[in-house]
Each structure stands twice: as structure tokens, then as C-alpha cells.
Structure 1
Amino acid sequence: MASGPLAGVRILDLTHVWAGPLATRILADLGADVLKVEAPMGRGPKVFPGVPLGGFVGGAASAEPWNVNAVFVKLMRNKQSLAIDLKTEDGRTIFLKLVSISDVVIENFSARAMANLGLDYPNLREANTKIIHVAMPGYGLNGPYSGRVAFGPTVEPMSGLTAAMGYGPDEPRATAMAMPDPSSAVSATAAVLTALRLRESTGEGRLVEMSLHESAVSYAGPWLVDTQFGIEPERIGNRHPQMAPHGMYACLGEDNWLAIGCRNDRDYQALCEVGKLDVDSSWPLSERMAQRERLDEAISNWTRTQPHETVTAQLIDAQVPVGKVLDTAGMLANPQSIHRDFFVPLEQGTPMPGNPIKMSSISNSDWTPCPKLGEDNWPVLHDWLGYDEPTVNELFEKGIIVDEPPR
């Protein structure tokens, strides 16, 4: 397991999909002792009906496809796995015993799920007055939307982001990647650390309530402020409301694109000089905004005749902001990421995003890969709770704990 500044903090992780598991992965990377408490069918069936989103780690399903689902695996490093049925009385009893010796319970179920299991905050607090329960349902624990089924791609449009994206007034666009999930993960990480810090002074745990929706809204940009002052935001695609030129431009070759943005007159003049653009380099911002189509055409006429490496080098020398539009292969081969050892080939040699937080007390040298389903059933039940071998075997026989999907 990872060592780090959160060593000694024990977290019971009931999360699923993306938002919650990313939050607990960040905490695990920082040294927290994270126990993934997962349902027997939480990783899918014994026989997958097809290739899951993201495929399989290693490129093939293997004899245990549930253990190599890439999207799941990439969020599970540095964690332990207890596969247990919390819908049974024995499972609930075991979980509450774990709560009594833990610091944090975090989950992103629907607003009513924990109460239905008899594991809502009052029950958790009865087991441990110092427990911190972080609940992060789609729309919070109360309000007219709290009972709704929440899913990142449907929550995102309600955050205002989709209304701000697109290439025209009749074409709103979503990110297609559920941005509320990672934004909620970062907020949840901060929430855990804040509650732990507060507990140091009060000695008490507490319920920390979050909302996938509100986490996304908190990332709203200037369009939110504009609307409140009566300014109707425009959907302008890759352009910028206060900069010009600003956009994506094709270079020589197939699917080679650069992002170029001019922050001020100096950037614009330098771009005109480097690209020998057929426009007036003395245009002020007001004229550039009015001439955006002409500017885009002039830049494209230059970039599409040049390799992207040439354009990038010239603009970097001129100190004009520029960046290559990278696909996944490009990200993995990017020299900046390689130099900083950002991607970690922890899972069967498959590179996974590392920890963006770099400091002397944090390293990936002791990271551990995703555990198999229920891999830590015995050490957790024996070492943490003192269960003997016959008791653990009985739990296996009754299907309370598992090390493979039951069907």
C-alpha cells in the first residue's frame, strides 16, 4: 500500500462508477488505508456479455474478466478489497464492526440507499461517534430532486455547462465525459480532509453531505455571472469571448491540430510575424473580434501547410500560447509526461494516470495494483476484527463474503 501523509487514516469505501472511486483513489495515493467494501456482483458477472467500456487490462478478458475491467481497475490501486453482501444481517453486522475501528465512510449511492440498508449516519454514529460519513448522491440528501436517479451525463446539462458549449445558438453540446464526476471527486477529497481536520479539534465525527450536481455548478465559469447581469452567453465553439484569434487549427498531415490563443496585442503581433499572416498586424482587439472569421482563415492557410512540430516550435520561440491536440496515444508519448514519470505502468504494464500532487513525502514506488475481488477478505476479517478461520469459512459458505461473482 502507498505510504504518505494520510497514513493511519482508515477509510471504508462504498463508492462506485467514477466520482467516488476517484476520490478514494486520490486519498489512497496519499497514504490513507482504503478498504473497498464491494458487493459480490459489484465488478460484473462471471461471464462478460461483451467488451466493457475501456476494454480489459492486458488486452484480453482472461479467466477472471471481472478482475481486469480496465475502467474499474484504474480507480482501484492502493486499496484493499472486502467483497461482502451488506443486504444480509451478517454483512451489515460486520460492516458496523468495521465502522467502529475506522475514520471515514464514503459512498455515492442514491439518497435513500444507506437508510434502506440501515447504514445511514445515525446508525454509523451509534457504532462510532468519531466516524465521518461522506455522502455524495446526485442531488443531495434532500430537496425535490433528491429521489432522482443521477448519472453524470444527465447531471452535466443541469449544471449550465452544456448550455455554454457548442458552435451556435441551436447546438448545445455536452462534454460526453461526465465532467461532474471528476469535479465531485476533487470536492469529496477536500471534504474528507476538512472533516478530519475539524475532528481533531472537536473529537466528533459528522455527516458530510455533497451533491454531484452542486459540485458541477461550483465549476461554472463567467457565463453564470454574465447571466445574472443580464448578458446572454453565446455558444462560440473554440473561440473566446474576450480574445482573438483563439481556436483549433489543422496542420499538415492527417488529424494534426494545434490550439492557439492570443492573450493580448503582443501575442497577436508575434503570431502575424511568425506566420506571415495576410491580415493587419496592428488591429486592436475590437477589430480582431469583428474579423474572427478572416483571422481563422489566415491562420489555417498557414498552419495546414506546415508540420505541427514546426508551427509549435516557432510559436513557442515567439512566446505565443500553443498546444498540440493530443489523443490517448499522444498523451502517453508526450515528452513532458514521460520526463515527469506521470503515467505509472502498475496494472500488467498498462500505463495509468499517476498522482498530480508531487512532494517529498509522496512516491509511487510502493503503490500496489488493483486487488482481486475479495482478495483481502481474510486479512481484514482476521487481523482487523479477530475472526477465526472457521467463522470466515462459514461466511464464505453462506455467500456473505465471496472472492468471485456468484453468477
Structure 2
Amino acid sequence: LASITGGPEGPSRVGMSIVDVATGATAHAAILEALIKRGRTGEGADIRISMFDVMADWLTVPLLNAEAGNAPKRIGLAHPSIAPYGVFTSKDGKDILISIQSEREWKTLCAKVLEQPALPDDPRFANMVERVRNRALTDKIVADRFAALSRDELLTKLAAADIAFAEVNSMADLATHPHLRRIEVDTPNGVVSYPAPAAIVVGDDRRYGAVPAIGEAASPHQQKG
């Protein structure tokens, strides 16, 4: 995982404990599957989950590519087989990621954002294979245009053109993001505001029980929460 994560300068750890989380999520899914099977057959299950097996499963695509002689390269937020796909910086220093995955999108980007409608006629940019082969030049053309426009101007143009894009947010941006749902949890040191559970169950507002103090037994409600 580290070998294909990061930029050309070297491998990188993923920015959160992805192996632990992925293994827990895999165990959770396996337990639910076993419960369904038990409900149908009355038989239990002996489940074994290893971190290695989970990551090997998640790395199926890069592994098969490597075994076929096309080992993945570390390219940051770019994409190995799509161009332009990556982060470009606006005039006011805001990083915006775009993903152009079809010729229709490329033509639209050229006409409505880059303001170079004839660019797709250039053989170097005529299709995805050629754009990937000429990635440095493709990216430079996009980067130069982005650098000439402010963040607000770019977002307006990209949205109007129906181009897939995303801003690269910092943790401070996440903290104030309009889509961030929070849930409050009582702790011995006061109330803490956490990101809410991802699953939304209609008609069943989720909440966590209080975190017990050291030496304090959790109440049945806390255990359930």
C-alpha cells in the first residue's frame, strides 16, 4: 500500500489508520453475513480476519497490473490512466482537483473552461491515450489556465460546464464544511463534538452514550450506545 501511495519522491503512509479501519470494516461485514446465514441455517461461523489478507484484497487491481508488467507508479493525486486528472492551483492559491474521464468532458473543458475549443483537434490531446502520453504538456495547459483565474471563477465555470471537480480541503476546511454532520458525546472532560455515524437511518436518530470515567462502569444505556 505504501509503495503505491505518495508522490514520485518516495512512498508515504496513508494519512489515517486505513489498515485498522479496513480490517474492522471487513470483520463487521463478515459478522453480519454470518448472522444472516445463522438465521437461515441455524449454524454459526468461525471467522478469521487478518490485516494482511484485507490489504491484499484491497490491492487486487494494482497487484494484477504489476503482475501484467504495468507496475503502478506513485503520482500523488494524479491518475495512472486518465489525463487531465489531478490538482491544479487557482490564481488565489486554492487547490482544485478535476477528473476528465471521457472525450465529451474533455471537449467541454477545453471550450468552456480552458477557452481553447480547438485543443481536442491537436493529435497530442486527441484522446485519452495521447493525453496520458503527453501528460506533462496536458497538465501544463490546464495549470496555466487555472493559475489565471480565481477559485470562485473556476468553481463557477466548472459547475456550469458540469465538470467533475473537488476542492482539496484542509482539516480546518473540514471542520466548517457545510455537509459535515456532528454528534455530541459527554466525556469526563466535557462534551466533545464528533463527526456523526456515516449511515443515516431514516426515523432513527443515532446517538452515542457518555464515555465513562476511569474506574466507572458503563451503564446498560452506555453499553448499548
- What is the TM-score normalised by the length of structure 2? 0.81
Give the 5 Å matches for 1:217-256.
217-254=56-93, 256=94
Q: SS in structure 1 opposite 2:184?
A: strand
**Is the Cα–Cα contact under 8 Å of residues 249 and 259 in structure 1 kept in the other structure?**
yes
The one-letter code sitting in structure 2 at the alignment partner of 1:367 is Y
Match of 1:116 in 2: none
Measured against aligned partners, the alpha-carbon deviations of 1:234-258 in whole angstroms (never above 9, x if no partner) come to 333322222111111112334x211
Give the structure 2 partner of residue 270 of structure 1.
108
Q: 1 or 2 for the larger relative contact order (CA 8 Å, sep ≥6)?
A: 1
Question: What is the alpha-carbon distance in structure 2 between the residues aligned to residue 376 and residue 202 of structure 1?
Answer: 37
5 Å-filtered alignment, 1:60-75, equals none
Is residue 2:3 matched to residue 1:187? no
The question of whether the paired residues in 2 share the 8 Å contact of 1:277 and 1:299 is answered with: no
Partner-residue secondary structure (3-state), 2:46? strand
What does residue 368 of structure 1 align with?
209
Q: What's 1:165 paired with? A: 5
CA RMSD of aligned residues (A): 2.5
Q: Which amino acid aligns with 1:354?
A: A
SS at match of 1:275: coil
Distance 1:164 1:303, change over 3 A: same
Corresponding residue number in structure 1 for 2:16: 177
Question: Which of 249, 259, 284 is 2:97 aligned to?
Answer: 259
Once the two structures are TM-superposed, the CA of residue 293 in structure 1 deviates from its matched residue by: 1.0
Q: Cα offset for 1:344?
A: 1.9
Distance in 2, Cα, partners of 1:287 & 1:355: 43
Cα distance in structure 1, aligned partners of 2:191 and 2:91: 33
Q: Does 1:358 align with 2:200?
A: yes
Structure 1 equivalent of residue 38 of structure 2: 199
1:266-299 per-position Cα deviation (integer Å, ceiling 9, x unaligned): 1112222212259823322222112211122222
> Where does residue 166 of structure 2 map in the other structure?
323
Q: How does 1:2-401 map to 2 (within 5 A)?
A: 161-168=1-8, 171-254=10-93, 256-273=94-111, 274-276=113-115, 280-282=119-121, 283-337=126-180, 342-347=181-186, 348-364=190-206, 366-376=207-217
Superposition deviation, residue 226 in structure 1: 1.2
Output the CA distance in 2 between the equivalents of 1:197 and 1:190. Answer: 11
Structure 2: segments with no counterpart, 5+ residues: 221-225
Instruction: Note closer, same or farther for the CA distance 1:375–1:313 as it changes in structure 2 (3 Å cut).
Output: farther
- The CA deviation string for residues 105-142 of structure 1, in whole angstroms up to 9 with x for no partner, is xxxxxxxxxxxxxxxxxxxxxxxxxxxxxxxxxxxxxx
SS at match of 1:260: strand
For the pair shown, the structure with the greater C-alpha radius of gyration is 1
SS in 1 for 2:10: coil
Query: Whose helix fraction is larger, Structure 1's or Structure 2's?
Result: 2
Residues in 1 aligned to 2:10 and 2:209: alpha-carbon distance in whole angstroms: 45
**What is the rounded CA distance, in whole Å, between the counterparts of 1:343 and 1:324 in structure 2?**
21
1:214 CA displacement: 1.2
**Alpha-carbon distance in structure 1 between the residues aligned to 2:32 and 2:45:** 13
Task: Note closer, same or farther for the CA distance 1:220–1:361 as it changes in structure 2 (3 Å cut).
Answer: farther
> Do the aligned partners of 1:277 and 1:298 also contact (CA within 8 Å) in 2?
no
TM value normalised by structure 1: 0.47
Q: Give distance in 2, aligned partners of 1:373 and 1:199.
A: 37
The alignment partner of 1:175 has SS state of coil
Letter in 1 for 2:85: H
